[in-house]
Structure formats: C-alpha cells, structure tokens
Structure 1
C-alpha cells in the first residue's frame, strides 16, 4: 500500500514520474494542454486520496494505468473513438463511468494475478509500462517470439477474466500507441 506521509515525499514521486506520465498521455492525444491537464489531475487525485489508495503493483504501473484511463475518458467525452476493428462495439454509447478507476484497477490486478509469473512480468511491461516487444525481449534476454507468445497467452486470460467489466477496459489493455 502506498503511503505518502508528507509534501516532500509527494514532490519526490512527482519529480520521478511526471515525464513518463506526460509522454504516455501525449503519445495518445498529441495535445500539450490536454496532456498537462490529465497529468495534473492524476497527481492532484493522488495527493487528495493518498491515505486511501491501495496499490498492489508498482507505483509507476498504477500511474501509467491511470493515464490510460484518463485519456480514454477524455477521448470518450470528445467522441473521437474510432470503432473500426472492434467488432462493432459502439464505445461512445458504453457507460464506463459506472466503474471508478480504482475498481477497474483492482479488477485488472485480480486478472493479472491469474497469470504465471513470467506472463505477469511481460504483461505489465507491455500493457502497463508501454514497452515494445523488442524492448521487453532485450530487457529479459528472451526472444521476441517468446514475448509475443506470452503476450498472446496473457491477453487471452485477462480478456476472459475481465469480459464482464466493460469494453472500455479491453481497449485500455489492448491499445498500444
């Protein structure tokens, strides 16, 4: 569980992660002002809810997942979803606000826990940290094909575990910018 005891500790977290969050949002939005707003909202929320946030994995993974969630909420609000290739799901009409980010994050963590340890590492590196297949292969000293196979396997399991939640989550975990 994350405990932010004081402003200095919070500032340290901000200084360590703000660039990663900005980059992750900007890649998807290509709008500096909106990206800055989203990153600011995430850090304001982190500060305001510091006593109640329960992070089961890494802080970086939690924050990057928050970026993806906020970006998707923004895109939904702006009605800029492209539905090609999503089997006819009309994401604009999906009511995603019935699940808070916390609930969504907790359910995703439960689904990830169903994966083998190797699949968990690769899934987190790819889908949460946004690393490419090649980057993961180099970092773990395994073949690119092994990474692809593990990702395919893990995506099948996570999709099956999360199918009851919302189509928005499938976009969240499938999407790679």
Structure 2
C-alpha cells in the first residue's frame, strides 16, 4: 500500500527553479506570460510564487484536505509549464488559473467519491490474486529502488526524507540547512524523474491487469 500511495503522490511540479530575480517580480502578469512562452523559468517561478498561496487556500476550502489541495495545485502548475508555449494567448492569468483549478477540484471530488465507493465494497477473496499482488508489489519495489539510484544526490536525499521517512518540508529544510522552497523544488524534480523511470513499468503492470482481469 505504501508503494501505491507513493506513486499516487508523484503528481507534482516537475523541475527545480531558482528564486526569481527582482526585475521579474516587478513584471505584470501579461509580461510574465510572454516570458513564459519563451521558456523563461524565472517567469514561471514568479507566477508560482505569486499565485500558489491563494490557489492552495481555495483548493483547501473546496476539498477539506491540505494534502489533496497541494496535489491539485501542483498538477495545475505542471500543466501550465507543459502548455507554456501557448501562454501568451492567456488574457487574464488569475482568472485562467482559478478556472483551471475549479475543474481539477471537480475531478478530485469525483475521484474521492470513487475511492469511497470502492472502499465500501466487500473484497472478493482470492488466494491467487493475493499472490499476484504480492509479486507485483515486489516488482514495483525493485523498480522503485533502481529508479532512486539514478537520482542526483540532493534530489535523492530530499525524496528519501520526504516520502520514506515522512518528514515535512520545514523539517527537511532544517535538516539540510536549505530553504523550504529549495526542498520543494528538489522534491518536485525527483518525483518527475521517478515518474519517467517508472512509466514503462507501470504500463506493463496495467496491461497485465487488463489481460488478467
């Protein structure tokens, strides 16, 4: 179960960014969007800093869970970066972000309902399925361990402290003597790299599940 929850938690900001320089912080939203469309990571970091708190607070009110709210907002920023080359076409950045957040919150609430319904359903006993699941978990653990070894040193250490030792961002920042934002960026980078390494493995597992279902 820990490994499954770990994979679910991998939907986060996909790379590391430095703190935005003062001139970027002084830009209006339209200028930031134009810069973002030109792959300007500093512009993206400023948008992240400017709107993260309000988006997260709004998602928390709707979902009632800070962790799920963080996941939803992180997904939103990942999508914004992935679509950065079209950013110049966004007329009102704040309205765009909150509209996109609304649909992600709706999707999250639907997923919550599905999970609750699944949890309420009685399990179907099957010794054979239990054996298959045990083997799958073992294979996943091996794939995860191999992927972790490929991470850069700082990203691997932040990932270990966060996901395996369950330490909070402030605790990791104090332990490594870095800023909380640096911890978030290294964690995001490590999770993005792990998602890429494990994607092929998960596709194979899902295909086997469909064929054996």
TM over 0.5, shorter chain: no
Q: TM-score, normalised by structure 2?
A: 0.35
Q: TM-score, normalised by structure 1?
A: 0.42
Give the helix-richer structure, 1 or 2: 2
User: Which structure is richer in relative contact order (CA contacts within 8 A, separation 6 or more)?
Assistant: 2
Q: Which has the larger radius of gyration?
A: 2
